[in-house]
Chain A
Amino acid sequence: MARLTIEDLKKIKEKQKSTFSLREGGYRAKITVHMGTCGIAAGAREIMSALLDEIALAKVEDVITTTSGCAGLCAREPMATVEILNRPPVKYGDLTADKMKEIFREHILGGNPVEKYALAVGSETTY
């Protein structure tokens, strides 16, 4: 039996609508966590969870997350690619939940790529 009632959803919808309508459709940053078999085995799910927690904590509605398959650099998994609107994408590797949180605060909120964890900047698009 589903415990989630229509009433629950209606309440939430009303609350969310007020904050969301401001930026209908648009987003400022996109984070792609590599979720191929090798990424998942290396801990990619935990990286995504840490990211979702940070997004909820920061109460930002204009940061979206997505996943991609293996990019061929299995030894550096877990990996994520951060794309800020109008900036070159930055690929990060050997991630942990804590590193992801740091990247979220410094790069996604602050706008400054965390160079010590970066594998590559620019040129290539997201996998």
Chain B
Amino acid sequence: MRGRTFLSRGRALPVLVWAVSLLALWELVSWYLLEARHVPLAQSKLPYVHEIVRTMGDYAPTLLKEGRVTFGNAALGFLLGAAAGAALAVLMSASKRIEQLAFPYAIASQMIPILGLAPIIYGIVRDEKLSRILISGYITFFPVALNMLRGLRSVQPSALELMHSYAAKPWSVYWKLRFPASLPGLFGGLKIAAPLSVTGAILVELMGAQHGIGVIMLRNLYYGSSHAYMFWATVIVGALLGVLSYWIISLLERAVSPWQPDFRAKGGAR
């Protein structure tokens, strides 16, 4: 069950076909805009894929270095936000009072546009690293808290009754029942939050940081069409960082809760 990877499942081929056709189409349209229609700034609108790839190769050290800064800060913020979100979920599940107190604020906090919050935080702390961490954590907090709370509440009454019949201590009920039952919810929240936390960190960098993938993204946007390939390269690296974060969480999920319904064999193979 665990060894059944993406590749060995025979799902790789259709994905590959799709990817290749999409890239081919892209190249074709790009050529059409540039060579056939002579559209102005054609390469800023839809640059050649092979040129972007070449640029990414040429500037790999820079992209890697800046990407690592963004990812590192986002990851730290993500971890802190996830821990805080999980902690609040536990508190809310333990006490209706705390839930009634905290829940409206948690919802309200989601009404603040991140685009506005990022410069405010940056203006207050005046430290790009800390701002990135704070925004990533802030974005992570809510989906994790909400989904974990739902997970903690998902416990069947009969499963609780079993614990009750053995006069299990509240601590045991949490540790042996509520926590494991909340794992699917927790990971659901983490998977939503991980790419968002990367996006949040990039957003902070656009506010005038010195390092990070967002910084070179912004710079190359300013330099104009001559830097179109580099700009696109940074966008792609940003997207890849998001994918990477999602992928890490998915791997972790498989390792921590291989029993989840999502991972169960379908059909005859067991």
Q: Do A and B come from one complex?
A: no
